Amino acid sequence: MVTNLPPQAKALMREYQEAKSIPEKIAKLEALISAIPEHKGTEKLRRNLKKTLAKLKRELEEREKKRAKSSSGIRFSVKKEGAGQIVLVGDTLTGKSSLLSLLTNAKPTIGSSPFTTRTPIPGMMEYLDVQVQLVEVPAISIGVPWLNSALSLCRNADGIVFVVDLSRDPIDSLKFIFERIKSAKITLKKPSVRIEVEKRSSGGIQVFCSGCLKDCDVRDIIELFKSYGLNNAFIKIWGDVSLSDVERYMDSSIVYKPSLIIANKIDVDGSMDNLVKLEKSLGGLTKVIPFSCINPPLDLLKLKSEIYGMLNVIRVYTKEVGGSPSKKPLVVPKGFRVIDVAKIIHSQLYNNFGYARVWGSSVKFDGERVGPDHILNDGDIVEIRTK
């Protein structure tokens, strides 16, 4: 233990060591970390305490999950398919089933009685040459027995589409859903820094960064994740990030989900007034798209584009030297580099990378020769040459 701690920190250290329950330990540890001054002599202690705090929070979260599962008795699980998974969320009778039927190949039961949908219903939405999975979630409403399972689906998804009914004032029901979303540690407010971790069974740790690493490099990030017991993962980072930002992510169980609201029944009397109220209440938190499932537009491409855009991905096509571009694209995060594509295709292409030729909007002319760090745009074609 560092000997030059202020008296308050030493007292809090004793209180933490004497704490019995996990919530008490977490509270004492958070207070202790705040009381320790930041300088070179306390850097290692603060880092170790933060790791302990993250571990305690994970233990508490696991206990709460087990308790919730045992109490609800209802479990939902939908395996992800396609370029990403977007959940359709809302109160009962808002038009989620109708929307799913319009946008995908799914055939849900569309009824006029409340709570017709009681289990998740997946469907595949085709946008350009990409498949996006949409999942209708059973209604999130007061007293439903599947609430915790529905919220788990939201946490696991890549984005959330809220469906509201403009034939009535939607603010109260949406407020309830937002409160439940927040209680599930989901935020709809886009953070300045975004970090996603995809755990894997093998392959070590790979880091993709679209932005700037301020006071560290990729090796520091890898070592930090290893110190938390994570040895195989694909880590995606967007924005300018410091090692402290990554540590805060490790300590937090709050997840960001991109979202939009589809305001259904815009063709009903009184709907415009409710739309104005809705947009005013949101204060720009998320985009609102007026829509009618009964009288939909002939071309649904614009709506599909909005949903696809939530995934923050691009399509990249590969081609062999002298060959034709692949018919099926790679779907990768925005900001992906040529070298990242090489790593996905084959380790030999990555290890023996020489240069690449690119056709598309990211280059000045088709077939331009580029280096490993060239950032790709949607629809680009990549031909990788080895040494």
pLDDT, tens only, 122-145: 999 999 999 999 999 999 988 888
* Pair 68, 202 in one domain: no
Instruction: Kindly state the average pLDDT of the residues 22-48.
Output: 82
* Pair 160, 284 in one domain: yes
pLDDT digits (tens, 9 = 90+) for 343-355: 999 989 999 999 9
Task: For residue 167, give the CATH number of its domain.
Answer: 3.40.50.300
Tell me the CA distances in angstroms from 181 to 105, 141, 160, 169, one per residue in order.
28, 12, 10, 20
What average pLDDT is seen over the chain? 89
Choose one of 72, 94, 129: the last residue of a domain: 72
Instruction: Kindly state the average pLDDT of the residues 37-54.
Output: 82
Tell me the CA distances in angstroms from 319 to 303, 310, 336, 341, one per residue in order.
31, 27, 17, 12
Tell me the CA distances in angstroms from 178 to 66, 259, 381, 382, one per residue in order.
23, 12, 41, 42
Residues forming a β-bridge with 263:
164, 290
* Pair 278, 159 in one domain: yes
* Pair 317, 177 in one domain: no
Determine the Cα angle at 341 with ends 336 and 342, to 5°: 140
**Residue 12: per-residue pLDDT:** 86
The domain total for the chain is 4
Strand boundaries in 93-155, DSSP class E: 121-127, 130-136
* Pair 217, 339 in one domain: no
Does the structure show a pLDDT above 70 at 64? no
The domain in which residue 136 lies consists of: 85-188+257-309
* Pair 221, 263 in one domain: no
Asked whether residue 250 is assigned to any structural domain, the reply reads no
Asked whether residue 26 is assigned to any structural domain, the reply reads yes
**Residue 285: per-residue pLDDT:** 92
Q: What is the DSSP letter of 286?
A: S
Residue with token string 């947009």:
279
Choose one of 72, 95, 128: the last residue of a domain: 72
Asked whether residue 246 is assigned to any structural domain, the reply reads no
In this prediction, residue 269 has a pLDDT band, given cuts at 50, 70 and 90, of: very high
Cβ proximity of 99 and 264 under 8 Å:
yes
Tell me the CA distances in angstroms from 350 to 63, 201, 234, 338, one per residue in order.
42, 21, 16, 10
Cβ proximity of 290 and 298 under 8 Å:
no
In this prediction, residue 313 has a pLDDT band, given cuts at 50, 70 and 90, of: very high
Q: What is the DSSP letter of 120?
A: -
Would the pTM count as exceeding 0.85? no
Cβ proximity of 185 and 249 under 8 Å:
no
Asked whether residue 138 is assigned to any structural domain, the reply reads yes
Instruction: Kindly state the average pLDDT of the residues 71-82.
Output: 78
Task: Say which residues have a Cβ less than 8 Å from residue 76's Cβ, sequence separation at least 6.
Answer: 119, 120, 137, 138, 146, 149, 150, 152, 153
* Pair 176, 289 in one domain: yes
* Pair 131, 147 in one domain: yes
* Pair 294, 338 in one domain: no
- In degrees rounded to 5, what are phi and psi of residue 14? -65, -40
* Pair 200, 169 in one domain: no
Task: For residue 381, give the CATH number of its domain.
Answer: 3.10.20.30
- C-alpha–C-alpha distance, residues 347 and 249, integer Å: 30
Choose one of 40, 72, 104: the last residue of a domain: 72
Alpha helices of the chain — where are they, by DSSP H?
A: 7-18, 22-35, 43-72, 96-103, 147-156, 171-183, 218-227, 243-251, 271-282, 301-309, 338-345, 347-351
* Pair 68, 160 in one domain: no
**Residue 251: per-residue pLDDT:** 64
Label residue 196 exposed, middle or buried (CB < 10 Å: 0-12, 13-18, 19+): middle
Among 140, 181, 204, 141, smallest CA distance to 286 is for 181
pLDDT digits (tens, 9 = 90+) for 170-206: 998 999 999 999 989 899 988 777 888 888 888 899 9
**Residue 200: per-residue pLDDT:** 87
Asked whether residue 234 is assigned to any structural domain, the reply reads yes
**Residue 177: per-residue pLDDT:** 96
Asked whether residue 79 is assigned to any structural domain, the reply reads no
Instruction: Kindly state the average pLDDT of the residues 19-34.
Output: 83
* Pair 228, 361 in one domain: no
Among 191, 337, 174, smallest CA distance to 264 is for 174
